[in-house]
Amino acid sequence: MRLLAVMAVLGLSFEAFAGSSYFQPLDVNALHDKELASEKKGEAPRFAIPHKVSIKPSWEKAKSGYVWTHQVTAPNAVSLNFGFSKFNLPEGAELNIYSADRSQFIRTFTAADNNSAKELWSPIIMSDDVIIEVSSPAEVIDQVEIELGQVGQGFRTFGQSTLKAGSCNVDVACSESKGWENEVNSVGVISTGGSTFCTGFMVNNTANDKTPYFMTAAHCRITASSAPSLVVYWNYQTSKCGGSRDGKMTDFQSGSVHLVSGTKSDFTLVKLNGQPKAEWNVKYAGWDATDSIGSPAVAIHHPNVDEKSISFENDPTVLSSYGGATSPGDGTHVKVRDWDIGTTEPGSSGSPLFDLNHRVIGQLHGGGAACGNDQPDFYGRLHTSWKAGLKEHLDSAKTGSMVTDTI
């Protein structure tokens, strides 16, 4: 314990013993100031500080095979999450992650979670003291591939804002979302790299075959190298309109493959490692990639990565450059001049904008909208993204159609 105290003072992470790691408490006030400046520039908000590590199993013999346990402690952390830089389990092996007091538990990971990247990124667990446990039958122990490569030390919860959160946001549990239930169910909150968050949405294709295509903003920084770290949380929303912040983060899936991104319209398309579970009732958003514009619009998003909200613009949208004061500019963006109901906030980036036909026409790039002002938002135009590589994937049936509906 004397060594533990010395390392804490020095601010170093370390393995105090063969089976544990310790991380010094973060300076939350300093982080707040840094995040405030970043979010004002339109960057994706962070919820955790990533620590690169290289921790490999130290196996112990057990009755049914072998077990490795590793304890991660980060006093006062809001949450912890874990990136396994090597992950490939044989049949019968399991990975479990749970709080040291056993009050919280992430589902068991098995061979069914193996993927082509051979990585696994966990969702957050709301604890500062966590046990990682891997077990394997003796006969397949040599086939286990696992290494902990990153620990994400959370300094704020999802929904805990750096910029002042707005009270004008409308929960999707409210009556305003009636008729938009399918589109609501296409939207999820995401984390990338175990440290940043945004919003994104499942998107349909012309084959209507439920290929797990998922879209968000390019500035949410999902690249070929970071795509395996994508974690999508579905159904994170309040149970009652204006009620307590009781959203659950249990409906999640981890991992994706990057397909295409474009900077002009700030879009990214990935393919998730698998379809969402049927019981989650996730829908695949329809879209309109034609050059039509001018419909009133609806946004569904996670403001400050709070529980899911819905916003309405009753006036016609217009074409614009990003941040442009005049129309049409270069025509790469759809401009929402000011929200009539609700707003958007940092964390809403990547969320879909629907026209009144319930079809996506763009995803949120940025803007100045907030409760109490009439500033605009700018959505990367789907028509622009279509010509920048989106067509090759979303028109998978080669129909030539530039319109689909939500399924």
- Rounded-to-10 torsion of CA 133, 222, 206, 348: 100
User: Is 393 a catalytic site residue?
Assistant: no
Q: From the candidates 51, 70, 219, 302, give the one annotated as an active-site residue.
A: 219
* 8 Å CB contact between 180 and 187: no
Q: Which tokens hold the place of 154? A: 């959370």
85, 229, 309, 349: which is the annotated catalytic residue? 349
Report domain extents, the chain: 2-154, 166-407
Is there a catalytic annotation at residue 265? no
Q: What are the tens digits of pLDDT across the range 230-257?
A: 999 999 999 999 988 899 999 999 999 9
Confidence of residue 272 (pLDDT cuts 50, 70, 90): very high
Q: Which two tokens stand for residue 120?
A: 């696994």
pLDDT value, residue 18: 63
Q: Which CATH superfamily is 2-154 part of?
A: Spermadhesin, CUB domain (2.60.120.290)
Q: Which residue out of 266, 288, 306, 355 is catalytically annotated?
A: 266
328 upstream amide cis, omega within 30 of 0? yes
Band (pLDDT 50/70/90 cuts) for residue 326 is confident
pLDDT reported for residue 112: 97
Q: Is 358 a catalytic residue?
A: no
pLDDT above 60 for 160: no
What backbone phi and psi angles, to 5 degrees, belong to 79? -155, 170
Superfamily of the domain at 166-407: Trypsin-like serine proteases (2.40.10.10)
Residue at token pair 């393919």: 271
Burial string for 112-125 (b: 16+ CB within 10 Å, else e) reads ebbbebebbbbbbb
Taking only the tens place, the pLDDT of each residue in 82-126 is: 999 999 999 999 999 999 999 999 999 999 999 999 999 999 999
Which residue is listed with tokens 């309040």?
238
> Per-residue pLDDT tens for 185-226?
999 999 999 998 999 999 999 999 999 999 999 999 999 999
Report how far apart, in Å, the C-alpha atoms of 394 and of each of 231, 232, 252, 389 are. 22, 20, 23, 9
For residue 42, the model assigns a pLDDT of 67
Token pair in block for residue 373: 């002002």
Host H or E run for residue 109? strand 105-109
pTM, 2 dp? 0.92
